[in-house]
């Protein structure tokens, strides 16, 4: 037995995050990081969020913490899912009730400074550069607020053999909370990382987190970023290059 209590835990040990309302525990690799709608249309001026009259500068604070999570998941080779709230160019997947509600400056599909609002392929629909998906990462285009509605998300999670979801993204009380509720009803345990989510209304963010963790985690868990990062096992070392063959004599110097 070793006396070295700082030794790295074996890779099969459960990950245990100090969270509310109690510890969030998952087998390594079986928690997907789900990043909700970190799109220019919500975070930058001139997009969909601004068209609704919101102060979009409030969302920027979630970008760097989300990047820290993304780096941590990528370093461990764990599953990452990005979502985009988006519609087909002909808006065939946008219910009229969604497009016509209220009195925004611009509606979904209208032309703004970053292209047509919330339309796939337009610059505003892209994920912000700091969080751009890497080739091979799952990107789910979702016509609703929830990421399970009318998307292949559940099948992709099943293919990853995922049992737990760790959430980041915007906005806390709209697309993040809706997706966490959908996930809860589908049997996933979900954790929201507090600094990695934001709302145009800070008190809505706080209230949404309280709603999620209340009643013994009626929807899920919440934890600060530091508690998540602290709990993760060390990433596996990069695969070393193969050693040089030993049965070949080295060339003499000067040849
Ligand atoms: N308006 C608002 O707060 N959110 C959305 O419309 N979509 C997402 O939350 N992604």
**Full strand arrangement of the beta sheet holding 31-36:** 138-142, 80-85, 31-36, 164-170, 189-198, 221-223
Beta strands in the chain (DSSP E): 15-17, 24-26, 31-36, 80-85, 111-112, 115-116, 138-142, 164-170, 189-198, 221-223
For ligand 1, is residue 141 a contact (CB within 6 Å)? no
Nearest CA to ligand 1 atom 8: 175
For ligand 1, is residue 194 a contact (CB within 6 Å)? no
- List per-residue pLDDT tens for the chain, 255 residues long: 344 455 555 557 999 999 999 999 999 999 999 999 999 999 999 999 999 999 999 999 999 999 999 999 999 999 999 999 999 999 999 999 999 999 999 999 999 999 999 999 999 999 999 999 999 899 999 999 999 999 999 999 999 999 999 999 999 999 999 999 999 999 999 999 999 999 999 999 999 999 999 999 999 999 999 999 999 999 988 776 666 666 655 455 443
CA distance 241 to 252: 24
pLDDT at 2: 42
> For a pocket test of ligand 1, which of 37, 58, 181, 200 has the largest count of ligand atoms closer than 8 A to its C-beta?
37
Q: Tell me the CA–centroid distance for residue 244 and ligand 1, in Å.
A: 55
CA distance 207 to 155: 31
Q: Which atom of ligand 1 is nearest to the CA of 176?
A: 9
Q: Tell me the CA–centroid distance for residue 89 and ligand 1, in Å.
A: 19
Give the sign of the dihedral formed by CA 70, CA 74, CA 78, CA 80: positive
Q: Tell me the CA–centroid distance for residue 144 and ligand 1, in Å.
A: 10
CB atoms within 10 A of CB 237: 6
pLDDT at 255: 39
CA distance 160 to 150: 19
Q: Tell me the CA–centroid distance for residue 170 and ligand 1, in Å.
A: 7
pLDDT at 246: 63
Q: Which atom of ligand 1 is nearest to the CA of 169?
A: 10
For ligand 1, is residue 182 a contact (CB within 6 Å)? no
**Residues annotated as catalytic (active site), given as ranges:** 37, 142, 175
pLDDT at 8: 57
CA distance 205 to 184: 19
């Amino acid at each position: 037995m070793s006396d070295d209590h700082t030794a790295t835990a074996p890779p099969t040990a459960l990950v245990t995050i100090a969270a509310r309302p109690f510890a969030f525990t998952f087998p390594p690799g079986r928690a997907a990081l789900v990043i909700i709608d970190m799109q220019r249309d919500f975070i930058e001026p001139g997009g969909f969020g601004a068209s609704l009259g919101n102060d979009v500068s409030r969302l920027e604070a979630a970008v760097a913490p989300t990047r820290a999570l993304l780096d941590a998941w990528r370093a461990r080779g764990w599953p990452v899912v990005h979502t985009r709230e988006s519609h087909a160019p002909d808006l065939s997947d946008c219910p009229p009730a969604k497009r016509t509600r209220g009195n925004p400056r611009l509606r979904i599909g209208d032309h703004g400074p970053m292209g047509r609002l919330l339309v796939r392929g337009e610059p505003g629909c892209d994920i912000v550069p700091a969080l751009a998906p890497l080739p091979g990462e799952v990107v789910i285009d979702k016509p609703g607020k929830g990421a399970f509605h009318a998307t292949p998300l559940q099948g992709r999670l099943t293919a990853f053999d995922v049992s737990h979801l760790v959430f980041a993204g915007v906005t806390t009380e709209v697309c993040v909370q809706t997706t966490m509720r959908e996930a809860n009803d589908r049997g996933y345990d979900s954790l929201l990382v507090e600094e990695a989510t934001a709302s145009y209304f800070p008190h809505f963010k706080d209230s949404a987190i309280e709603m999620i963790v209340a009643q013994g985690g009626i929807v899920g868990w919440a934890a600060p970023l530091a508690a998540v990062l602290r709990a993760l096992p060390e990433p596996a070392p990069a695969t070393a290059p193969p050693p040089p063959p030993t049965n070949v004599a080295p060339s003499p110097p000067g040849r």
